[in-house]
Amino acid sequence: MPAGTLAQETWRRFKQNRLALAGGVVVVILFAVSFLAPLISPHDPNKFHLREVLEPPSAVHPLGTDELGRDVLARMIYGARISLKVGFVAVGIATLIGIVLGALAGYYSGWVDAVIMRLVDIMLCFPAFFLILAVIALLEPSIWNIMIVIGLTSWMGVARLVRAEFMTLKGREFVSSARVLGASDARIIFRHLLPNAMAPVLVSATLGVAGAILTESALSFLGIGVQPPTPSWGNILTAGKDNIEVAWWLSVFPGLAILVTVLAYNLLGEGLREALDPRLRE
């Protein structure tokens, strides 16, 4: 099937899934909010208003204020930037590592495959979140450390997917033809095999963004993630925990933002999986 026709067929299948389409719309809105934060934020997210401490939602502060009088809506808008940055950078690191190791394991097989798969097994033995907690506890909490650690501890699924795809594809005729024509291993891997193995990787990366956002929020909630005064949905939730009896809005709004974002990415990922699965094409 020509590339243009394949893309059109994928889009046709994707847009028939209303839940996936809704997830995609939410993701686009989140991107728009993140990029336009300086223009649409009603207040400075870090400016104190000590006379407006813990004010409930109102016309001036639509989502209320926190324990220092900062506008929660402004902090939520800028927090979206943090969440998307962590999600995409962490998943980018994990995907890059997974693609390289999975491609090597699937293409060369033998002892290369055995060594890489045993490394995957060892990594999977450790509970991922507790491993991240341990590493972050040893390092200085910062957004860059969080992104790197999440990326370095979440590549195993991508590696397995790429390995399986390579093992399926490397026996095909187009690979044999490339070898006969004298193509190097690197050219076969990156020009012939990898483009045909990217569909499940794309789905995995989309789902991985949701997991990375959730992990960052949990770390920030525990106080070892993004550090104040930088706003993130997780540290807004921490303020909500400390003031749960008098300021319900500090828990409800960031909690809903995390819920909707993670759900949107999951729906988008599932929609992409169904649209890209060749077994489901008519």
Token representation of residue 164: 């399986």
Separation CA 114–CA 110 (nearest Å): 6
* Model pLDDT, residue 119: 93
* Model pLDDT, residue 116: 94
* Model pLDDT, residue 4: 55
Residues 6+ apart with CB under 8 A from 167: 106, 109
* Model pLDDT, residue 137: 77
* Model pLDDT, residue 278: 57
Rounded to 5 degrees, what are φ and ψ at 170?
A: -70, -15
Residues 6+ apart with CB under 8 A from 234: 216, 217, 218, 219, 220, 221, 225, 226, 254
* Average pLDDT across the chain, whole number: 86
User: 145, exposed or middle or buried, with CB in 10 Å at 0-12, 13-18, 19+?
Assistant: middle
Token representation of residue 98: 């997974």
* Model pLDDT, residue 2: 53
Domains and CATH numbers, the chain: 3-43+71-280 (1.10.3720.10)
* Model pLDDT, residue 279: 53
* Model pLDDT, residue 90: 92
Residue among 4, 31, 196 nearest 12 (CA): 4
pTM assigned to the model:
0.86
Backbone Cα Rg of the chain = 22
* Model pLDDT, residue 203: 87
Q: Which residues of the chain have pLDDT under 50?
A: 1
